[in-house]
Amino acid sequence: MKINIFRQLSWFFAAFLLIFTFNSLSEELFAQKGLLWQVEKNGVKPSYLFGTMHSENPQVTRLLSVVKPYFTKIDTVFLETELNITAILKSSIALFLTPGQTLDQLLDKTKYTQLIQILYEHGIPEDFAKTLKPWAIMIMLSSPQQKTGDMLDLLLYQEAQAQHKKVFGLETIEEQLAIFEDISFPDQLILLQETINQLDQLPQIFQQMLELYTQRNLTGLLDFSKKYMMNDTNKTLMDTFIKRILNDRNIKMVDRMQTALQTGNSFIAVGALHLPGKNGILKLLEQQGYILTALY
């Protein structure tokens, strides 16, 4: 069975954030609308910041034509992580339990049977499913079915290569995987159960997410996430996880894009939900004195 987990991993970051983001992330909302931003400071050549959606939907991928002209102006491209074969292999290997371990050994019979039935309905056979870590299953269940795999992020990477631009990652694949790998097994099971509880709602969530994105409504994306808060029982776990998957990464990515911004003439693409709100990249850059102008 062919599973491009690296693309699913990218989708999961976006989908999971929208499903489980807390009110604490949006105590103060800013009227932010726009997917493509010009970033400049102190007379340096401007750079461009683009909020992507990890999707192959034509309404999303058509945006390549919107940003493509800016590729002719810039010297370097920065993505969340490099989309190369090494990253794909590392992410694929990380999905599996320790050799000799299987989920039927780690779960009680009732939960295991329920999980295997759900995975079977998603086209994932038991022999494969029982070797996966709970967080990996969570990703698969939280990701919409892909037909081509040609997501906007991948198209940006391919366009950069076609124009012979230097491409860098703001994070390593090891850093992205560590967000999940560092979750204890019991907590992975809690998060997986919450994902299962949301399965019926996922198609509607993805559709609303798509609409808000194509409307360039960043504030709406952040506000929409409040509708899907976890129950109080798991609030501590989710607060910690959301801090790591969103706020901490925003700070790290802003720090790592400094050289590019101070040099100028760079194109930076990150998931759109990293941009808005008081802890978002747009606000963090404004606090550092950068002038941001919405271009699209």
Query: Per-residue pLDDT tens for 155-214?
Result: 999 999 999 999 999 999 899 899 889 999 999 988 888 888 888 888 888 899 899 999
pLDDT at 30 over 60: no
What is the pLDDT, as a whole number, of residue 28?
46
Burial of 43 (0-12, 13-18, 19+ CB in 10 A): exposed
pLDDT at 291 over 80: yes
Query: Per-residue pLDDT tens for 209-264?
Result: 899 999 999 999 878 866 655 444 577 777 787 788 888 999 999 999 999 999 99
**Alpha carbons 176 and 169: distance in angstroms, whole number:** 11
What is the pLDDT, as a whole number, of residue 243?
84
pLDDT at 90 over 90: no
Q: Kindly indicate the confidence band of residue 274, based on its pLDDT and cuts at 50, 70 and 90.
A: very high
Q: How confident is the prediction for the chain on average, in pLDDT?
A: 85
Sheet holding 76-79, edge to edge: 166-169, 76-79, 266-271, 47-52, 36-40, 291-294
Q: Kindly indicate the confidence band of residue 25, based on its pLDDT and cuts at 50, 70 and 90.
A: very low
Task: Note the pTM of the prediction, 2 decimals.
Answer: 0.86
Q: Which span out of 120-124, 135-139, 252-256 was modeled with the highest average pLDDT?
A: 252-256
Q: Kindly indicate the confidence band of residue 85, based on its pLDDT and cuts at 50, 70 and 90.
A: confident
Angstrom CA distances, 16 to 54, 66, 168, 238, stand at 12, 27, 25, 11
Q: What is the rounded average pLDDT of the residues 130-152?
A: 85
What is the pLDDT, as a whole number, of residue 258?
96
pLDDT at 270 over 90: yes
SS3 call for 125: coil
What is the pLDDT, as a whole number, of residue 192?
87
What is the pLDDT, as a whole number, of residue 283?
96
What is the pLDDT, as a whole number, of residue 87?
78
216: left (phi over 0), alpha (psi -120 to 50) or beta: left
Q: Kindly indicate the confidence band of residue 22, based on its pLDDT and cuts at 50, 70 and 90.
A: very low
Q: What percent of the chain has pLDDT over 90?
A: 51
